[in-house]
Chains A and B, each alone.
Chain A
């Protein structure tokens, strides 16, 4: 009786192993159909910060995404080989939380079976979702994860399935440093960094590496801070030529307002997080003078780039406001995926990845984009100058 029992266990154990091995081999054999495939529609997932601290940026990106998808679907969808398929968006909120971003990524690729994902907006949340994206072999395009390491593995190799539509910090920070030295002739600057995000600290680091003049003061603030009077009063007596302040418009608007009220009228240079019409509203028109920021997308771009012009018009018609940079980047992210599907003639997620990596001379709203080997888009940068609350000049840096 006992012996018989043992035999059964042995046989079943063997059978399990054989079956498991067989499973392995079938998985390997089917390598060509790896990743997710589209059904009737092309499902694109959105893993976005729709609530929580970064919700302001996430909501803007969602607007850009919806605008792009509506436009593509109205025109009949995306050409996949000989057929046209419409896009179906699966929008999920990651609540500006890293753990939620990772589980949202898993949900999108495993349950919703999306073939590509747009988002997350922030580097931290984006990094948290990389393992799940890679496991499922589904590409993601982040409109705004700017940390240089975001698309790279620890050993410096590229993350195969991770792309972005924005600049990385090093490029933006060093461009600002060069601009301040060459164009503004600033020899003595103060740095005011938003140190609650990788975005702010990364830019400040890149700036410090390139800037050759004297850094008179190096101060930090947090996202959500409202009072900068103390820092600014301390800066006033340091005889600075300019302020470099990488951060987002909600705090930068207040910094500009309080600086001008405190009688500091030196140029304030920032980054693309400032490129929002709300900046002027918060700072006040008369205070928004000598304000510069680096940005991939200039609202002046509509004058030279027909794509940008039509995007600005469509955004204005739908949301009754000037399109912010984040919406433009998200809009481009969708079109980058579309272009990848069309060039590969397949909406299989692995094929889309190949298409995205090969993206070349893609004409987007934020400029002509070529994807480099590290999955960073190469495009020209613009520095905009604001006078009396409106953009008065745009310097293009190649």
Chain B
């Protein structure tokens, strides 16, 4: 029983990171139908920004995370401006391939500039482990869970309660019609990239602190897992991405807990295939008929 509880905690802290990343995928897809494969690398940039902000600028943790969010938001907007905007009216596959190209550029560019070595993230917050009913939970795990939940709520509020959020929803339904009623398409799309990338930046700094190891290729696997999470939750749906993230985290933990660690990635991708076959729109996805 204790083991199950402990594994639940492990799964939730892992899942909250996937959830934060999946939000970026799902929002960008919802608005311009593009799977932004460079998203995982923005998360890596966030972690590196945190590393230099703490080591070089002597920021405290909160400040480092906030500045990483701002930095990543900027990077996201720039990537959209230079790489995706010129291709907005090209076939979707062109934009998709560009996204993969941007991902390679970021990974190898960072390897070139900062070397491929894993570096240790400055431990600005001392790890304290609490024992509750035989379970061990560290303050950092709580911090990750708390921050992730807070950011997800904040995002939900922005999308549902603000004017910009309304514009985002309008663009995602029909970009042409949204322009007709006076919504600035470019601003809305830039804002979406900024929001999604800020989430990834926060996730990067949190992961840096939690695992204490960052490298230029750290965004690859989590990026793909988060993409799976977004698809499982129903790509384009914000609550779906959060749920999908937690589900993937718990699934991965569960598979390892029963001793099948060699298959943990395989199981995640297997679930992706099953979901695509059985529930192609995902858990929260709306079934839409493609107009021919």
What residues of chain A have their CB less than 8 Å away from a CB belonging to chain B? 51-53, 55-56, 58-60, 195, 217, 219-222, 224-227, 229-231, 233-234, 236-237, 249-250, 253-254, 257, 261-263, 278, 281-284
Contact of B253 among A51, A225, A230, A281 (CB under 8 A): A230
A51 touches B10 (CB 8 A): no
Complex partner residue of A220 from B3, B115, B116, B262, CB under 8 angstroms: B262
Asked if residues A226 and B3 are in contact (CB atoms below 8 Å), the reply is no
Q: For the complex, what is the distance from the CA of A60 to the CA of B115, rounded to whole Å?
A: 10
B3 engages A237 (CB within 8 Å) = yes
Contacting chain A: which of B51-59, B67-75, B86-94, B206-214?
B206-214
Q: Which residues of B contact A262 (CB under 8 A)?
A: 136
| Cross-chain contact B213 with A250 (CB below 8 angstroms) | yes
Chain B residue, CB-CB nearest to A193:
B262
From residue B99, how far is it (CB to closest CB) to chain A in Å? 20
Q: Within 8 Å of chain A (Cβ to Cβ): is B11?
A: yes
Residue of B nearest to A281 (CB): B120
Q: Assess whether B125 is interfacial by the CB under 8 Å rule.
A: no
Indicate if the CB atoms of A219 and B261 lie closer than 8 Å: yes
Return chain B residues, CB-CB under 8 Å to A261.
127, 129, 136, 138
Asked if A220 and B221 sit within 8 Å, CB to CB, the answer is: no
Task: Report which of A52, A219, A282 forms a contact with B213, defined as CB distance below 8 A.
Answer: A282
Judging by beta carbons under 8 Å apart, are A254 and B257 in contact? no
**Besides the known contacts A60-B117, A278-B120, 12 further A-B residue pairs in the complex with CB atoms under 8 A apart:** A51-B116, A59-B116, A221-B261, A224-B217, A229-B13, A231-B261, A233-B6, A233-B257, A234-B259, A250-B118, A250-B215, A278-B118
With a CB–CB cut-off of 8 A, which chain A residues contact B252? 227, 230
How far apart are the CA atoms of A132 and B259 in the complex, in Å? 42
Q: Is the CB of B259 within 8 A of A217?
A: yes
What per-residue 1/0 map shows which CB atoms of B99-141 lie under 8 Å from chain A? 0000000001001100111111001000101000000101000
**Minimum-distance CB pairs A-B, first 8:** A55-B116, A230-B256, A281-B120, A229-B10, A250-B118, A230-B253, A219-B261, A220-B262
Complex: A233 Cα to B9 Cα, angstroms: 11
Q: Does B265 lie within 8 Å of A55, measured CB to CB?
A: no
The reply to whether the CB of B202 lies closer than 8 angstroms to some CB of chain A is: no
What does DSSP make chain A's interface, helix, strand, loop or mixed?
Answer: helix
Chain B neighbourhood of A217, CB < 8 A:
259
Residues of chain A lying within 8 A (CB to CB) of residue B262? 195, 219-220
Shortest distance between the CB of B217 and any CB in chain A (Å):
7
B136–A226 CB distance below 8 A: no
- B residues with a Cβ closer than 8 A to A are 3, 6-7, 10-11, 13-14, 108, 111-112, 115-120, 123, 127, 129, 136, 138, 207, 211-213, 215, 217-218, 220-221, 252-259, 261-262, 265
Expressed in whole angstroms, the Cα–Cα distance for A51 and B261 within the complex equals: 28
Say whether A56 contacts B136, CB under 8 Å.
no
What are 11 inter-chain pairs, A to B, with CB distance below 8 A?
Answer: A51-B116, A56-B116, A59-B115, A219-B262, A226-B211, A226-B213, A233-B10, A250-B213, A253-B118, A254-B213, A278-B117
* CB pair B3 A51 closer than 8 Å: no
Which A residues are CB-close (under 8 A) to B218?
A: 224, 226
A281 surroundings in chain B (CB, below 8 A): 119-120
Q: Is the CB of A257 within 8 A of B212?
A: yes
- A204 CB → nearest B CB, Å: 12
Q: Give complex CA distance A231, B259 in Å.
A: 7
Shortest Cβ distance from residue A285 to the other chain B in the assembled complex, whole angstroms: 10
Chain B proximity of A265: nearest CB distance (Å): 13
Residues of A within 8 A of B255 (CB): 230
Q: Decide: A227 and B118 in contact? CB cutoff 8 A.
A: no
Closest A residue to B261 by CB, please name it. Answer: A219
- Least CB distance from A63 to B in Å reads 11
Give the distance in Å from the alpha carbon of A230 to the alpha carbon of B3 in the complex: 10
Given contacts A51-B108, A224-B221, A233-B3, contact A59 B117 (CB under 8 A): yes
Residue from B11, B108, B120, B255 whose CB has the most chain A CB atoms within 10 Å? B120
Contact of B11 among A60, A226, A230, A254 (CB under 8 A): A230
Expressed in whole angstroms, the minimum distance between the Cβ of A38 and any Cβ of chain B is 32
Cβ-closest chain A residue relative to B213: A282
Q: A220-B261, A227-B211 are in contact. Are A282 and B117 (CB under 8 A)?
A: no
CB contact between A282 and one of B3, B111, B212 (< 8 Å): that residue: B212
Q: Identify the closest chain A residue to B9 (Cβ).
A: A229
Please give me the residue from chain B that is nearest to A58 by CB atom: B116
Of the residues B118, B127, B253, contact of A229 by C-beta under 8 Å: B253
Docked-complex contact B118 and A56, CB < 8 angstroms: yes
Query: What are the residues of chain B within 8 A of A234 when measuring CB–CB?
Result: 3, 7, 256-259
- Bound complex: CA A86 to CA B261 (Å): 51
Contacts of A224 in B (CB 8 A): 217-218, 220-221
Q: What's the nearest-Cβ distance from chain B to residue A160, in Å? A: 33
Q: Is the CB of A219 within 8 A of B259?
A: yes
CB contacts (< 8 Å) of B258 on chain A: these are 234
Measured between C-beta atoms, what is the minimum distance from A65 to chain B in Å? 16
Q: A230-B256, A233-B6, A263-B136 are contacts. A55–B118 as well, Cβ < 8 Å? A: no
How long is the Cα–Cα vector from A272 to B252 in the complex, in angstroms? 29
Hey, which chain B residues are within 8 Å of A236, CB to CB? Answer: 3
How far, in Å, is A14 (CB) from chain B's closest CB? 54
Q: Which residues of B have CB within 8 Å of A233? A: 3, 6-7, 10, 257
Given A59-B116, A231-B256, A278-B120, verify A253-B129 contact (CB < 8 Å).
no
> Which A residues are CB-close (under 8 A) to B138?
261
Query: Given A195-B262, A261-B127, A51–B257 Cβ distance below 8 Å?
Result: no
Chain B residues contacting A56 (CB-CB under 8 Å) are 115-118, 215
Q: Could you say which of A219, A227, A257 has the most chain B C-beta atoms within 10 Å of its C-beta?
A: A227
Asked whether A254 and B212 contact (CB < 8 A) given A220-B262, A224-B218, A230-B256, the answer is yes
A88 CB to nearest chain B CB (Å): 24
With both chains docked as a complex, state the minimum distance between the C-beta of A49 and any C-beta of chain B, in angstroms: 9
The answer to whether residues A226 and B207 also contact, given A234-B3, A278-B119 and a CB cut-off of 8 A, is: yes
Quick one: given A222-B265, A233-B257, are A227 and B112 in contact (CB under 8 Å)?
no
C-alpha spacing A249/B119, complex, angstroms: 11
Expressed in whole angstroms, the minimum distance between the Cβ of B212 and any Cβ of chain A is: 6
For A257, list chain B residues within 8 Å (CB): 211-212
